[in-house]
Structure formats: structure tokens, C-alpha cells
Structure 1
Amino acid sequence: MLRYNFLILSLIFSVPGILIYLFRKDLRKTIRILAVCSVPFGFTEFLFYPSYWEPVFLFNLVNYIGFGIEDLIFVIGLSAFTSTAYPFFFNKKLVEIKLKRQISSATILFGILFCCFFFVFLFAVSEFPIIYGAPILMILISLGIMAIRNDLILPGLFGGVLSMIIYAFLCLILLRIYPDLFQLIWHTEKFINRNIYGIPVEELIYGFASGSIATLFYPFVFRHGYEKII
């Protein structure tokens, strides 16, 4: 078994976001804000471990506090590229727009986060598999945002697809480093148990869902839209 497999995974998933941060100064604020907002989700590892997967954690922290250092690195790295893949690859920038609503950005932010953690709590209590619950929740919130902001429909869809492609590419890199990783660490036999090029379908769904909601999160909460860079 590859030692520190989750740490290696987390570091690999941080690379795309770091590159975008270096090349697009205008997206750095988005990355920083999404990084902060993503941190609480790193504390939910106990809902995935060990039912969905059993990676190796530094200092075996997951068995003491329910999550590891790797979880925080992973969610920050994931949020960095999922929130900016769409504007980066489609050459878009975020611009402030005027909307009729009077609800403050802080209220919307805490409302979305509250909904997320409320439903995560329900999933935990009901023992509904979080690997299904998390993507369902992210997709439902994304659809709700798209219903309110029609201008964000295409960004949400394209952002989801782009993130899934990047997610899959990173998984393929992991498979090159450690060919049996998904067979040994993931318990996909308990779930869909289907792979695409060796990648569990659950991971691809998760990549799409996280990409969609991350692409929509900043412009929706802070009243911004996507505009072509001339």
C-alpha cells in the first residue's frame, strides 16, 4: 500500500488551482474566498471514512478527531480549480452587476452554508450514503441558483463539465503513480461499482457536482456575472 496516499492525492488536486492562481490575478480573490468557505467541509471526513474509502492519514488523525490534514488540503485545492475552471478556460472575468434583490451577500452566504450542513446532518442521522447525498445536495443548490439567475445556467453546466474533466485527469495521474489505488482504498463494491477508465463513477459525479456549485457560488453570493475578456 502506498504510504501517505491521501496526502499525495490532496497535493496533486491542489496543482490546477495553484496554476490558475499564478496565471490569473483577477481570479485570486475568488480562490481565496472559496478556500475559506470550503474548510468546514473538510471536517466531514468521518461521513466518508471508512464506509466509502480508507486512505492513509498523517498521524492517523481521522481516528482521533474525525478528519485529517489531508482533508483540508483537498477541499481547498478542489475549491480553487472548481470555482475558476470556467472563467479560466473560457477566457471570462467576473464583473459586478446590479440586481433588484435586497438580501445581503452575508445572509446568502450563511444561508447556503446552513442548508449544506443541515442536510449533511440529515444524511448522517439517516445513514444515507454521503457519497450520494453530497452530489445530490450540490446539484439541487446549483439548480436553485440557476433558476434564480438564468445568466448562470451555462457557466454552471460548463463549470461542472470542466471540473469533472480536470478531476478525471488528476485521477488518471494517480492511477499512473499507483495503479491499484481505487481497488485497494475505495469501497465502491458497496455502491455503483462501475468504473470509467479505472475511475469510480461516484468520483466523476462528485467532480461534476462540486464544479457546478463552485462555479456558481461566488457570482451568486456576491452579485457578479461572467463577462468575456476582450
Structure 2
Amino acid sequence: MQYVWLIWSLFTLLVWLILYLSKPAFRKEMMSISLGTMLLGFTEPLFVPEYWNPPTLFDLAQRTGFDIESLIFTFAIGGTGSVLYKAIYKRNVAKMEITEMGHSRHRFHIYILTSPIPIFLFLAVFTELNHIYCGVIAMFAGALLTLYCRPDLKWKIWVGGLLFLVYYFVFFLSLLTVVPYYVTHVWNLEVLTGIIFLGIPIEELLFAFSFGMLWSSLYEHILWYKIIKA
């Protein structure tokens, strides 16, 4: 069980690599979003051991809260979550017109773009919620606020969330097929809802959906791109 988290994270990296090599048009987006998302790997001490406590390389998570696997995992899912919708539906991006960028709803652009951060911090500091719920709420709220700022991305946001949920669900099932006892040994189920779907904690599925919603539109939202047919 020592290397399960490492192998799982490397599998997500393999999917990232396949997308990266097969979709040259997405490479810049994937690399930039992945590098930014990898920073979330440094938040792992917020979740270990309160949310889960996976065996890691050199027992880093147990000794420091940090681990190498989280950096690999966040790097991989960042780029994948960003382009999954475009890869499946054969879409690309184009720069928005200046007139579109000047719409009154965009006066909140930077606040909406960064909204998940203060939402997460507020919940983490002023509530007793497990940090996984703080993260899910923050990402979901950020995605909903993005819908106000960028209604043109509504299908990409909702469908992107569902696509990443399916992707994550399949990966999690493959993990449980090989290591069926992993969840009960690693997740701190006593402090969670206890709702399990086909062996997967509901918190993981909520994370996948909210992450997919927010990350599917992140690149376009940051750089003022709109979706076009490839």
C-alpha cells in the first residue's frame, strides 16, 4: 500500500501526457494551468491527517504533511480538467472582442476570478468544517460566480464538471479494483458524511465535480478567451 498514491498520481500524469502529446493546440494551456494548479499540492498539510492519511514516498506526508505525490496529482488534473471539454467536443479558443470585454459584468472580473480563495479561507478560519468541504464549497461558488461573469462559458462549466467527474470516477474505481481496502485504510471516514458510492467517498465525487466546473473555464476566464469550433 506504500506506493498506491504514487502509482495513482502517475496514472493521472499519464492521461495528461497523452492529451499533451495528441493535442498540440492545447499544450500551452495545459502546461500553464498545470503549473499553477500544482501549487495546490502544497496545501496538503490542511488535509493530512484530518481528511485522509495516505502512505507516501519517504513517509513525507506523515512526517511533514507534504508529499511528492500531491504535486504530481495536482499538476496532472489541472491540465486535464482544463482541456477535457475541448478535447472531447473538438473546440478551441479565440480572443474576445474589446467590446465584449468591456461589458459591465466584467467589472468584477478579478474579484470573481479569485473568489474561491477568500471563500475557502473564510470557511477554514470561521467554521469547523473539514477542509475538503471548504474546498468544495469554494470551488463550486467560484464556478457559479464565473457563470455570471462569463455566461458564454456556461455549457463548458457544467459539462466540464460532469466530464471531470466521470473521469475521476473511473480512475477511482480502477484504484479500488486493485486495492479495494484503500479507502477504509486511508480516508478519515469517521469525520466525514460516511456516504459511500460504489466504494468512493461522496466527498471525492463532490471535489471532482466542483473542480471540473471551475477548472474547465479557468484558462478562458483568466485570458479573456471564448470557445470556438476547432
Q: TM-score, normalised by structure 1?
A: 0.89
Give 5+ residue unaligned stretches, structure 1.
Answer: none
C-alpha distance in 2 between matches for 1:161 and 1:148: 21
Per-residue deviation, residues 14-67 of structure 1 (Å, max 9, x unmatched)? 222221111111111111111121122111111111011110121222244431
Q: 1:82 to 1:25 in 2, by over 3 A?
A: same
Give the match for residue 80 of structure 2.
Answer: 81
> By how many angstroms is 1:112 displaced?
3.6
Q: 1:60 to 1:20 in 2, by over 3 A?
A: same
**1:71-220 correspondence to structure 2 within 5 Å:** 71-98=70-97, 99-101=100-102, 112-113=113-114, 115-126=115-126, 127-220=128-221
Which letter maps to 1:131? I
Of residues 15-24 and 147-156 in structure 1, the stretch that sits farther from structure 2 once superposed is 15-24
Give the match for residue 58 of structure 1.
Answer: 57
CA contact (8 A) 2:51 2:188 kept: yes
C-alpha distance in 2 between matches for 1:151 and 1:221: 14
Which letter maps to 1:49? V
CA contact (8 A) 1:47 1:130 kept: yes
Percent identity reads 28
- Where has structure 1 moved over 4 Å in runs of 4 or more? 107-111
C-alpha distance in 2 between matches for 1:188 and 1:15: 29
**Count of matched residue pairs:** 224
> By how many angstroms is 1:12 displaced?
1.8
Per-residue deviation, residues 200-229 of structure 1 (Å, max 9, x unmatched)? 111111111111111110001101111122
C-alpha distance in 1 between matches for 2:142 and 2:55: 32
Give the match for residue 70 of structure 1.
Answer: 69
CA contact (8 A) 1:18 1:80 kept: no
CA contact (8 A) 2:196 2:202 kept: yes
C-alpha distance in 2 between matches for 1:51 and 1:62: 12
Give the match for residue 28 of structure 1.
Answer: 27
Give the match for residue 6 of structure 1.
Answer: 5
CA contact (8 A) 1:14 1:73 kept: yes
RMSD (CA atoms) = 2.1
- Partner SS state of residue 226, structure 1: strand
C-alpha distance in 1 between matches for 2:117 and 2:147: 21
Of residues 214-223 and 52-61 in structure 1, the stretch that sits farther from structure 2 once superposed is 52-61
Per-residue deviation, residues 104-124 of structure 1 (Å, max 9, x unmatched)? xxx9679845x4444443343
C-alpha distance in 2 between matches for 1:155 and 1:112: 16
C-alpha distance in 2 between matches for 1:119 and 1:149: 20
